[in-house]
Amino acid sequence: MHEELSVSNTLIDELLRADIIVAGVPMYNFGPPAQFKAYIDNIVRVGRTFGFDRSRGAEPYWPLLANSGKQLVILSSRGDYGYQPGGRIGDRNHVESSIRTAFAYIGITDVHEAAIEYDEFADHRLRDSIGDAEAAVDELVTTLVNRPI
């Protein structure tokens, strides 16, 4: 069993050491790629990142990383546009919401995001989106660097 869990243990240990987790996650068919889902499946683990006790009644689960001060940065990309909440097809974006859900489940709720859209168009809209995302990342870096520890 130890050998089977070695990758999971390594990923969780890395997560536990981190103050800031940066996830670069493209949109594949409205959600995160399978490789990122596999990462989530390895870090969301009973006894390591969330607790479970059936005797607790209606809510037997609790996050073990709550109040850890960890921050998550999601850097995403998508081919089309309008995937932001309230956007023309925002209801089809299951990338950021699924990542937020998984990390909140283990107790990491301080989340920041920047996204690039229009990749399929490869025109000025893509260039503008890249520029906007880079500016958002620069602003985020300044914010994170100036946060008290």
Give the per-residue pLDDT at 3: 86
Tell me how far apart the alpha carbons of residues 134 and 118 are, in angstroms, rounded to a whole number. 15
Q: What is the pLDDT of residues 1-39, one digit of tens each?
A: 778 899 999 999 999 999 999 999 999 999 999 999 999
Give the per-residue pLDDT at 26: 97
Strand-strand pairing, 20-26 and 71-77:
parallel
Closest CA to 115 of 87, 75, 142: 75
Per-residue CA distances from 39 to 44, 71, 80, 101, 117 (Å)? 9, 17, 25, 14, 24
Give the per-residue pLDDT at 149: 64
- Average pLDDT over the chain reads 95
Which contacts qualify for 78-85: CB closer than 8 Å, 24 or more apart? 78/26, 78/27, 78/115, 78/116, 78/117, 78/119, 79/27, 79/117, 79/118, 79/119, 79/120, 80/117, 80/118, 80/120, 81/117, 81/118, 81/121, 81/125, 81/129, 82/117, 83/27, 83/115, 83/117, 84/115
**72, 103 in Cβ contact below 8 A?**
yes
Tell me how far apart the alpha carbons of residues 133 and 76 are, in angstroms, rounded to a whole number. 9
Confidence band, pLDDT 50/70/90 cuts, at residue 113: very high
CATH 3.40.50.360 is right for the domain spanning 16-145: yes
Confidence band, pLDDT 50/70/90 cuts, at residue 146: confident
- pTM, entire model: 0.92
Q: What is the pLDDT of residues 78-100, one digit of tens each?
A: 999 999 999 999 999 999 999 99
